[in-house]
Amino acid sequence: MRYGELIQKAEEALEAKGVLKNYRGLGAETGYTGRFNFEYFKAFGFKLRMIDSVLADTEITLFNRRFKTPITSGALSGMTNVTDNPLSKLATGVKEAGSMMWVGITTSDQFLSVIKTGVPTVRIVKPYADMQKMISEIKEAEEAGAIAVGTDVDFFYGGKVGDHTFAPGAMGPKSTDQLKELVAITKLPFIHKGILSASDAEKAMKIGAGAIVVSNHAGAVIDYCAHPLEVLPEIKSVIGNSMPIFVDSGFRRGADVMKALALGADAVCMGNALIMGLAANESQGVTEIINILNEEIRRIMSVTGCTNLKDIKADILVKRSFII
């Protein structure tokens, strides 16, 4: 199936269940951040560099593992209104595509079901006010076989969609010392997710982060939040090549991913697109979506003169002063 056919099938399935609105990328309060997450990609175009170009290679090494694509799953939770056993099904599809799985809020049994698929898995723990709860979940993930762990530091005030705030009381802000403690309790790379400024990126680096995720939490933190691509170049200038830089929020097509790679990201975490694949065709749909998007990336790389992912630089982009 083509991308559009998968999305149409997914939307019809979710609409029949009455849950399509849950997967529309709605943001906090007015929803502007959620809408802008999709629109800002239009501010960039590609320059073609055809002569002497070759068919591109999209493979990437992350956390000492080789993957077929710079697309990974987002740090996903729930989805029980999409299908039964959603995390393990999504993990199966991600593995088949040669990618990496990220898991957010989950139970011990659900996390183990993901690990048992054999997919390389990252566990993102919420920034609970209770540090012992965070420590327990991090250690559990390490013992289960996760390849990396981390926390979404941007979620300490809880999430917000429209005027509905969820999970604020259970969360709490994390200090440098607290994050250092979390880094120290695990041998795994510790990821700081929700970095959206150069100052936080510098702090994460000094704390000992093993990677960061540049993210506005799909618009569910505050209204009128910066788009990840607006701040990615300044974050890259701080981080350099010292650790992997992931990015998420609003990514739908291979062209979106390519723009992030050009501006300094190493890989892109995608949630909604993979959920659509799951809704359309279970695990196979997830694999199909990733493969389609990765082929879109390969096509753009090939016609912009990028032989491999390391060749992708900002000079393949044009920045527009308008969005149509």
Cα gap 102→107, rounded to integer Å: 14
130: left (phi over 0), alpha (psi -120 to 50) or beta: beta
Active-site entry in 164, 192, 217, 227: 217
Q: Is 227 annotated as a binding residue?
A: no
Q: Is 215 annotated as a binding residue?
A: yes
Cα–Cα distances (Å) from 247 to 37, 54, 153, 288, in that order, read 12, 27, 14, 21
Helices (H), 17-145: 32-39, 86-96, 108-115, 131-144
Residue 193 assigned as binding residue: yes
**Residue 251 among known ligand-binding residues:** yes
Question: 94 with 73: CB under 8 angstroms?
Answer: yes
- Tell me whether residue 164 is one of the annotated catalytic residues: no
Contacts 24+ apart (CB under 8 A), 141-145: 141/111, 141/188, 142/186, 142/187, 142/188, 144/111, 144/112, 144/115, 145/115, 145/121
As a whole number of angstroms, the longest Cα–Cα distance in the chain is 57
Rounded Cα gap, residues 164 and 255, in angstroms:
32
Pair of tokens at residue 274: 């993979």
Which amino acid appears at position 74 of this protein?
A: G
| Binding-site residue positions for glyoxylate | 217
| Binding-site residue positions for FMN | 193, 215, 248-252
Active-site residue set: 217
| Binding-site residue positions | 193, 215, 217, 248-252
